[in-house]
Amino acid sequence: MQIIEASKRPRVSLGHFPTPLEPMPNLSRMLGGPSLYVKREDCSGLATGGNKTRKLEFVVADALSKQADTLITQGGVQSNHVRQTAAAAARFGLRCEVILENRIGKDDVEYCESGNVLLDRLLGAQLHVVPSGTDMRAAMEDLAQRLRAGGARPYVIAGGASTPAGSLAYADCAEEILLQARSLGIRVNHVITATGSAGTQAGLVAGFRMLKSDAAVTGIGVRAAVGAEEQVLRLARAAADLAGFEGEVESSRVRVNCDYLGAGYGMPTPAAMRAIWLAARMEGLLLDPVYTGKCMAGLIDLIRKDYFDEESAVVFLHTGGSQALYGYRSSFATAPVHESGTHCI
């Protein structure tokens, strides 16, 4: 594509691209707002998919160029990024060492051993679990030093693969969305995505800017609100620089809404749980309590607040993560209830 060709960045093949862009007619009709579409990054193919696959195509290529034999990364216990990194390592015959932070302090077997954790182990990752509040960058570097002392050649991958090169992958995705929208005969006005480590939103912002599209991007924050927009802008500008873009990515293009975070990262909210049930029953779409459930809750609330023009086409970027549902099984014991007192389904 235009942006990737301009960047001349090395890239390996890990995913099934382009991922589908599909209408959500039932939710659109029920909510009575703009026309809703879903960009199915959960269908990217690597170990059941997710948004990190695009990023890892660039990051793993860099690791291989440096002759690394081990990938090191980090995330929360039910990290989707860790699962996809472990799968990428397996694909290229690399070791994978992972530091998992128990950010929410849960110690039940469901959360600590099922879902993504089970898949991490199946994919061959070596897991090191640390308590909440651990300095993860320092922990990864300490692990890398120990591995180097033993003769290994480790390559450290930032959480979420949210590096400038990883963000560039979502500039590529922005171009993909516009091409698919054109084939569907629609004009994308808005993209909404979960924002954690910031690379996905940053790449989309950079991509639309480089392509001279006025499509807006709103991130629904799923981690601490402080500094979120600054981090998105920094990565967006770095991704644009990698692509050789000579213009400016304006700060006005970055919008992060953290109103739907709740008690914190990985902590389910009632609105997110209702959104998960609703997406499943209305569209056959599987979301998760950590990222996409909160993002969908934000989208629903923003539609009700008339944030979007009714004539707009809004794309919900599905970053994946339904594997984590198994780690939250007890949260689904009963169907959530609407504010009216009736079950949401």
pLDDT 10s digits, 16-31? 999 999 999 999 999 9
Bridge-based pairing state of the strands 21-23 and 35-40: antiparallel
| 139 contacts: CB under 8 Å, gap ≥ 6 | 74, 99, 128, 130
Do 19 and 111 reside in the same domain of the chain?
no
**Cα–Cα distance measured from residue 22 to residue 16, given in angstroms and rounded to the nearest whole number:** 16
- Find the domain containing 111 and state its range: 52-161
What does the block give as tokens for 199?
């690379």
**Residue at 340 is within a domain:** no
Backbone angles phi, psi at 305, to 5 degrees: -95, 10
Do 228 and 261 reside in the same domain of the chain?
yes
Do 131 and 95 reside in the same domain of the chain?
yes
Which amino acid is it at 2?
Q
**Cα–Cα distance measured from residue 161 to residue 158, given in angstroms and rounded to the nearest whole number:** 5
Instruction: Among 161, 176, 206, identify where a domain stops.
Output: 161
- Give the residue ranges of the chain where pLDDT is below 50: 339-343, 345
Do 262 and 303 reside in the same domain of the chain?
yes
**Residue at 289 is within a domain:** yes
Which amino acid is it at 297?
A
Residue 312 known to be catalytic: no
Per-residue pLDDT at 261:
97
Among residues 131, 155, 133, 132, the alpha carbon closest in space to that of 143 is found at: 155
Per-residue pLDDT at 342:
45
Overall pTM > 0.85: yes
Do 138 and 200 reside in the same domain of the chain?
no
**Residue at 343 is within a domain:** no
Q: Which of 7, 28, 35, 79 is catalytic?
A: 79
Give the H or E element holding residue 209.
helix 199-210
Q: Do the Cβ atoms of 303 and 33 come closer than 8 Å? A: yes
**Residue at 345 is within a domain:** no
